[in-house]
């Protein structure tokens, strides 16, 4: 049961309103966290009956609250709060948190303090420490997920701050909530032992590409607070008339999905659960930031993009007109096209005259052009006309989005359409949250 008030899905994705309905057992066995089983199909009802007896007989308020949460989860076939999804990438950690807005007076009275503390901390702040950010402008409001109404929050912080995040979970006694942390991305494997030893938390590790696709389809289906999630650029080859326009991903398949994070993965997606990884490149967002740090002394992605926006890459790159004196007409190469990235840097005179901003711009253009070139070749090879670009490399990065739109349109003579999504890099974490909502609380 996943819907959004005022923003219905623009297509049927095959998902049960965003996630697969829980599988109901037809046999006599039921699994539990401890590996036990029931001897009949009524094992779940028996468990609820025993929980009810425990609730009546146990005098501890905290214990009663945990038991009531478990009873509620069992009845509604949903996990206990809090609900998180996490994507631990090579550069950034992306976290989504569902904030319930339909908490009853009874639930609020019985809610354990650390659960209240977590909700208040996450929703009343827009920054966490020096590097954690809640992207307030991306918040999805009035969602109904698993029968509960609330808002979905989007939070990010550098992966290098992961240990501080784990310590926070320990300090807030997160393990006492008996919740499951669903995590995807390479860091789900890298930091698994740290979660276990530092905070007594177990991660449910999920495939990052599965989560990416499921999360993308779900967010696109609910829309962006009454507006389409997907957009494209009209007239991308005409800078004066280029304009952002909404796009409904009706019948989205097949699509080429280009995920630009620290590196790049390119997927050919034929249905919600039929896809293949076509190829990728190590030259991605991590390359851009790493080179900018070396060349300009900047420290953050935001700083690198700010410098790039002010720079002129043609002072660094050698263009077709620098070689031919104009266009290379035989092959339709415009004189303004880059012939050699950083080609002018062979000249000491040029090196002495450029700015750090020029270097940042040239680096951004180099990485973006390479991604666009590979994506176009993959689209032609797979015979797919719709290319969807996602990933945090595109966050606040209008230079690259417009450049990708232009490259797809120009080099394909209008046959390929570049599409973009408002929630860029958060789809993996949304997919992890959807996996959590497919689970039942068997503890």
What is the number of other CB atoms lying within 10 angstroms of the CB of residue 245? 10
Q: What's the pLDDT band for 200 if we cut at 50, 70, 90?
A: very high
DSSP assignments along 275-332, one per residue: EEEEEEES-SHHHHHHHHHHHH---SHHHHHHHHHH--GGGTSEEHHHHHSS-BGGGT
Residues 87-97 pLDDT 10s? 999 999 999 99
Q: How many residues does the chain have?
A: 443
pLDDT of 410:
86
Give the closest residue to 404 by CA, choosing from 425, 392, 388, 415. Answer: 388
User: Six-digit token pair at 245?
Assistant: 């326009």
Model pLDDT, residue 20? 37
- Closest Cα partner for 76 from 178, 28, 15, 144? 144
With cut-offs at 50, 70 and 90, classify the pLDDT of residue 376. Answer: very high
How much is the pLDDT for 114? 85
3-state SS assignment for residue 357: helix
Active-site positions read 208
Judged against a pLDDT cut of 60, whether residue 207 lies above it is answered with: yes
How far lies 375's CA from each of 188, 228, 389, in Å? 28, 24, 9
pLDDT score of 110: 85
pLDDT band at 77 (very low <50, low <70, confident <90, very high): confident
Average the pLDDT over 345-364 and give the result: 98
With a pLDDT cut of 90, the percent of the chain lying above it is: 70
Task: Identify whether the C-beta of residue 249 lies closer than 8 Å to the C-beta of residue 224.
Answer: no
Q: What is the mean pLDDT of the chain?
A: 85
What pLDDT digit, counting tens, does each position of 291-337 carry? 999 999 999 999 999 999 999 999 999 999 999 999 999 988 999 99
Taking only the tens place, the pLDDT of each residue in 160-196 is 999 999 998 898 888 888 777 999 999 999 999 999 9
The predicted structure's pLDDT at residue 440: 54
Res 349: pLDDT:
97
Q: Where are the beta strands (DSSP E) in 70-199?
A: 83-88, 92-100, 127-128, 132-134, 140-145, 148-158, 181-184
- 8 Å CB contact between 222 and 143: yes
Rounded CA gap, 141 and 101, in Å?
A: 10
pLDDT at 58: 52
The residue that leads in pLDDT, 356 or 38, is 356
Query: What pLDDT, in 10s, does the model give residues 221-249?
Result: 999 999 999 999 999 988 889 999 999 88
């Amino acid at each position: 049961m996943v819907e959004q008030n005022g923003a219905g899905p623009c297509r049927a994705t095959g998902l049960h309103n965003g996630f697969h309905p829980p599988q109901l057992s037809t046999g006599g066995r039921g699994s539990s966290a401890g590996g036990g089983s029931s001897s009949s199909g009524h094992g779940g009802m028996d468990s609820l009956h025993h929980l009810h007896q425990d609730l009546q007989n146990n005098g501890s308020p905290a214990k009663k609250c945990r038991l009531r949460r478990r009873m509620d989860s069992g009845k509604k076939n949903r996990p206990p709060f809090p609900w998180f999804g996490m994507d631990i990438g090579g550069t950034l950690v992306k976290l989504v948190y569902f904030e319930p807005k339909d908490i009853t007076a009874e639930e609020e009275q019985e809610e354990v303090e650390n659960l209240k503390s977590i909700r208040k901390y996450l929703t009343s702040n827009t920054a966490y420490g020096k590097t954690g950010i809640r992207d307030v402008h991306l918040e999805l409001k009035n969602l109904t997920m698993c029968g509960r109404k609330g808002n979905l929050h989007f939070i990010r912080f550098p992966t290098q701050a992961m240990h501080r995040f784990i310590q926070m979970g320990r300090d807030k006694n997160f393990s006492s909530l008996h919740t499951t942390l669903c995590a995807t991305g390479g860091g789900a494997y890298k930091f698994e032992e740290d979660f276990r030893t530092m905070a007594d938390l177990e991660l449910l590790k999920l495939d990052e590409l599965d989560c990416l696709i499921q999360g993308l389809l779900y967010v696109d289906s609910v829309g962006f607070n009454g507006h389409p999630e997907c957009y494209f650029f009209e007239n991308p080859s005409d800078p004066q008339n280029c304009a952002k326009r909404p796009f409904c991903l009706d019948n989205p398949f097949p699509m080429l999905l280009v995920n630009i994070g620290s590196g790049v993965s390119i997927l050919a997606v034929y249905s919600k659960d039929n896809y293949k990884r076509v190829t990728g490149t190590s030259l991605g967002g991590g390359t851009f930031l790493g080179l900018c740090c070396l060349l300009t002394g900047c420290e953050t992605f935001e700083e690198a993009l700010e410098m790039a926006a002010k720079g002129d890459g043609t002072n660094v790159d050698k263009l077709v007109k620098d070689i031919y004196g104009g266009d290379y007409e035989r092959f339709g190469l415009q004189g303004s096209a880059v012939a050699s990235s950083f080609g002018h840097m062979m000249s000491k005179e040029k090196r002495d005259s450029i700015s750090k901003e020029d270097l940042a711009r040239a680096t951004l253009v180099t990485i973006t052009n390479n991604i666009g070139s590979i994506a176009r070749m993959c689209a032609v090879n797979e015979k797919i006309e719709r290319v969807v670009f996602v990933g945090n490399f595109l966050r606040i990065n209008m230079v690259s989005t417009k450049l990708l739109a232009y490259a797809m349109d120009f080099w394909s003579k209008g046959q390929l359409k570049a599409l973009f999504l408002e929630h860029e890099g958060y789809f993996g974490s949304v997919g992890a949250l959807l996996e959590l909502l497919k689970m039942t609380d068997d503890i």
